[in-house]
Amino acid sequence: MNVMDLPRAGVVIVAAGRGTRMGTKENKQFLLLRDKPIIVHTLEVFDRHPLIGEIVLVTGEHDVDRCRAWVAEYGIAKQVKVIPGGAERQHSVYRGLLNIGADWVLVHDGVRPFVTSGQITACYETAVRHGAAILAVPVKDTVKQVDEAGRVTATPDRRSLWAVQTPQAFRRADLLRAHEEAEAGGFLGTDDAMLIERLGIPVMVAQGGYNNIKITTPEDLDFAEIIINKKDFGGEDKL
């Protein structure tokens, strides 16, 4: 499949969380990285990608105006809809889906600014081939299952464990149905793939990258500075 023959997709970027683990008054997605809000770095990656035709940014109700101002200030070329989110991430994604017109949609965390064009393409192409896809990386460490008393109950085979990232890519119609059935059943998932899995739709994995971090703690912000300094000496990744 020639990736440039793929239909253009929409992306829902979720940036409505409060991020209490960061320990700052400012929401994590609006903290500065290289004198630019983290969310702007994320928007720029998708703005540059030729397969992304529309962007919906879902943020807090009180942050809509400043996000719209940043879209203009930083020259985001693609049309970006900025809308208020819901009480939970799942509700915010659903609101974003209602504002996407494309048949295929990617969902991405606003605080993952280091996803590459190649990773976006790989995730989307895998979804078109198989119906649904997520970015993920193999777990490096041994993982223990532990009960409430702190006792180890199992050691899963590390070879079968992957740490999930975003974006995640789906047929928009499937993801809408997954969200609506989850809402009807009072189910709150930890990611969108979990909702798709409830419908019995197989989800495939596309290789992510260990630098595609989710910035949620002060330590993550320190690591982000290291990553962005390294990027200064590298070329653009391939689609």
pLDDT of 24 > 70? The answer is no
User: Rounded mean pLDDT of 83-102?
Assistant: 96
Task: Report the pLDDT value the prediction gives residue 17, as an integer from 0 to 100.
Answer: 73
pLDDT of 171 > 60? The answer is yes
Q: What is the pLDDT of residues 140-155, one digit of tens each?
A: 999 999 999 999 999 9
Measuring CA to CA, how many Å separate 129 from each of 125, 201, 223? 6, 13, 34
Nearest to 167 by CA among 98, 88, 92, 111: 111
User: Rounded mean pLDDT of 3-10?
Assistant: 86
Count of beta carbons in the 10 Å neighbourhood of residue 43: 25
Task: Report the pLDDT value the prediction gives residue 27, as an integer from 0 to 100.
Answer: 80
Nearest to 201 by CA among 213, 209, 210, 192: 192
Q: What is the pLDDT of residues 40-72, one digit of tens each?
A: 999 999 999 999 999 999 999 999 999 999 999
- Superfamily holding 7-231: Spore Coat Polysaccharide Biosynthesis Protein SpsA; Chain A (3.90.550.10)
Work out whether the CA dihedral 185, 190, 195, 198 comes out positive or negative. Answer: negative
pLDDT of 16 > 60? The answer is yes
pLDDT of 22 > 80? The answer is no
Cα–Cα dist 40/237, whole Å: 19
DSSP state, residue 18: -
Task: Report the pLDDT value the prediction gives residue 235, as an integer from 0 to 100.
Answer: 45
- Sorted by where each begins, the domain ranges of the chain are 7-231
pLDDT of 2 > 90? The answer is no
